[in-house]
Amino acid sequence: MKPRPTLEDVAGMAGVSTATVSRVLNQPERVRSETRSRVKAAVAHFDYTPHFGGRALASNRTNTVGAVIPTMENAIFARGLQALQESLAEEAVTLVVATANYDPAREADQIRTLLGRGVDGLVLIGEARDPSIYAMLERRGTPFVLVWSWRADCPWPCVGFDNRAAARAMARRVLELGHRQVAMIAGITRDNDRATARVEGVRDALREHGLNLNASRLIETPYNLEAGAAAARHLLAATPRPTVIVCGNDVIAAGALNAVRSLGLEAPADVSVTGFDDIDLALVLDPLLTTVHVPHRRMGEAAASLLLTPHMRNAEVRNVVFETTLVERGSLAPPRK
């Protein structure tokens, strides 16, 4: 089997130096068009592709950015990732995705792995993580951006929305409709600032009405159908029965709706259910899910543009916030009188 062609092979055939070939590949405008086409012909002849390692070594860049997300198993991050990838691809940057399964240790591992692969930048979900990780990132000087959460005074570049405010808005609407028996199924708040903020948001709204979220009315579960259903069954067994279950995300809400149905109850007549994130799932449930719409794609695009901006490090626009909107569909209605 013949060895892969090298720059030298191409250069030889085109009758130029390897430097010129390299230039044709990286800064074509710096080479006379005549030479350029000769080189291109040689490249085509050998079906030459630059060796990634050689390139990375010499230029100290990989044109790769990494993203560490909690999971691919549900569609929550899919749309954002897709947008991120598309935006990066426009600049010939490849996206490498790793999953951490909501486990901080595993996340740290994955971050290290990606850094080891020499990613030029990193996209991380949320802000909550061990300071040592941020220290490592800064020490290595690898640019990174946090997505899916946002605080005005976040010390790192971040692109997201105010989870707390969004949850608060949802809860306010719930209360406005007259609900007073409010229960919540949140994601696991530990090490998850988004889940935490969403709980706080709901608490805020309740407090405004002189209510609070009793411990027995709040369950934290993993983000999956079965867990959501189990939690809902538990909550619905209480007396008085909640008239609404506010869920930490759409997947949990879907599970809750399943539980409602399996208990012989009907949503929203007997109990309302709300979600968060507005993934496709929300549109296939029956009733359609009232949820918080999140700008998935725009977050992905913004993250890409932050990462691709070289002057990113010079403060300025390192902090992008998007609005969320409340999408009212069938799963939320006033409580039965």
Partner DNA sequence: TCTTGAAAAGAAAGCGCTTGCATTTTCTGG
Partner DNA sequence: CCAGAAAATGCAAGCGCTTTCTTTTCAAGA
Q: For binding to a second copy (CB under 8 A), which residues are involved?
A: 1, 4, 47, 49-58, 60, 62, 64, 71-75, 78-79, 81-82, 85, 94-99, 112-118, 136, 139-141, 225, 254-255, 257-258, 261, 280-281, 283-286
The binder of 22, among DNA, a second copy, none, by C-beta within 5 to 8 A per type, is DNA
By the rule CB under 7 A, 101 interacts with DNA: no
By the rule CB under 7 A, 15 interacts with DNA: yes
Q: What whole-number distance in Å separates Cα of residue 143 and Cα of residue 173?
A: 39
* Binding piece for DNA, criterion CB under 7 A, among 30-38, 219-227, 271-279, 289-297: 30-38
By the rule CB under 7 A, 44 interacts with DNA: no
State the nearest-atom distance from the C-beta of 51 to DNA, in Å.
3
The binder of 141, among a second copy, DNA, none, by C-beta within 5 to 8 A per type, is a second copy
The binder of 34, among a second copy, DNA, none, by C-beta within 5 to 8 A per type, is DNA
Binding positions for DNA, 49-68, rule CB under 7 A: 50-51, 53-55, 57-60
State the nearest-atom distance from the C-beta of 77 to DNA, in Å.
32
Q: Cα dist. 252→144, 184, 194, 293 in Å?
A: 30, 10, 15, 15
**Interface contacts to DNA, rule CB under 7 A:** 3-4, 6-8, 15-20, 22-23, 25-26, 30-32, 34-36, 48, 50-51, 53-55, 57-60
